[in-house]
């Protein structure tokens, strides 16, 4: 499936490369870093797309050195044209680099696209002290019943694997990661340019979440999982 990203297909279906979502994602990543008092000098993002998450993290942590790795020539070209001195972008697969490691590695909305995500996670583990994952929770009662939301994600943005909170955390644990912290992020409630069905579900999702967060996410979906692991 790498050919989707290395060719033009993903760019044709997603011409903005979800740049509009990046400030929101970067804000949550910065918050979990600060909340846990992480000490670091370097941040790397795997699958950095056009680089907007890293550029927003640069504003939050101006003393850090940031690197982005991307396998799509189209996304890399867009990122490299706006490259500041403190952020370096690489048209490479980090896991094919020798002896390269970082203090924090960001893996935001990536593992659901990787064919052998178990192998990927195990190979990634020793490339950084801390790993921050953002994982869409595509599996919920309503998404399974309706089916088309999951199939739409497969067709339009290339999701190959689908998680709910427990399977996401269990996957990381079984791959040797120690979970330090995690939290839900309200992806379908707060991100821009949502479909009418997502806008319609905002109120019931918020109301049920305020009563029982885990039950609301399992039943109605609309959330992602932000995980800090070591």
pLDDT at 83: 67
Cβ-Cβ contacts under 8 Å for 14 (sequence gap 6 or more): 156, 157
Confidence at residue 110, expressed as pLDDT on a 0 to 100 scale = 97
Query: What's domain 2-193+224-229's superfamily in CATH?
Result: Vaccinia Virus protein VP39 (3.40.50.150)
By the 10 Å C-beta count (0-12 exposed, 13-18 middle, 19+ buried), 46 is classed as: buried
Cα atoms in the 13 Å half-sphere on the side-chain side of 140: 21
Tens place of pLDDT per residue across the chain (230 aa):
677 777 777 778 788 888 999 999 999 999 999 999 999 999 999 999 999 999 999 999 999 999 999 999 999 999 998 867 789 999 999 999 988 999 999 999 999 999 999 999 999 999 999 999 999 999 999 999 999 999 999 988 999 999 999 999 999 999 999 999 999 999 888 887 777 777 888 899 999 999 999 999 999 999 999 999 99
Question: Whole-angstrom Cα distance, residue 107 to residue 65?
Answer: 17
Q: Where are the domains of the chain?
A: 2-193+224-229
Strand order in the sheet with 65-69: 87-90, 65-69, 42-46, 102-108, 128-136, 224-229, 179-185
Contacts for 115 with CB less than 8 Å, ≥ 6 apart: 1, 2, 160
């Amino acid at each position: 499936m790498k050919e989707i990203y290395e060719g033009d297909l993903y760019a044709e279906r997603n011409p903005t490369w979800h740049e509009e979502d990046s400030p929101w994602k970067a804000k949550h990543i910065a918050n979990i870093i600060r909340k846990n008092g992480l000490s670091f000098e370097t941040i790397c993002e795997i699958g950095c797309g056009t680089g907007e998450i890293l550029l927003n993290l640069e504003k939050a942590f101006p003393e850090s050195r940031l690197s982005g790795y991307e396998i799509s020539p189209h996304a890399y070209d867009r990122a490299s044209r706006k490259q500041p001195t403190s952020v370096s972008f690489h048209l490479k697969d980090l896991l094919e680099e020798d002896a390269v490691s970082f203090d924090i590695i960001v893996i935001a909305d990536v593992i659901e696209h990787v064919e052998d995500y178990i192998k990927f996670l195990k190979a990634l583990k020793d490339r950084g002290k801390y790993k921050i994952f953002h994982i869409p929770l595509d599996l919920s009662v309503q998404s399974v019943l309706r089916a088309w939301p999951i199939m739409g994600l497969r067709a339009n943005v290339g999701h190959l694997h689908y998680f709910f909170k427990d399977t996401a955390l269990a996957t990381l644990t079984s791959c040797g990661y120690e979970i330090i912290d995690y939290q839900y992020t309200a992806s379908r409630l707060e991100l821009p340019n949502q479909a009418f069905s997502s806008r319609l579900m905002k109120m019931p999702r918020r109301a049920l979440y305020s009563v029982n967060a885990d039950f609301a996410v399992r039943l109605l979906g609309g959330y992602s999982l932000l995980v800090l692991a070591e």
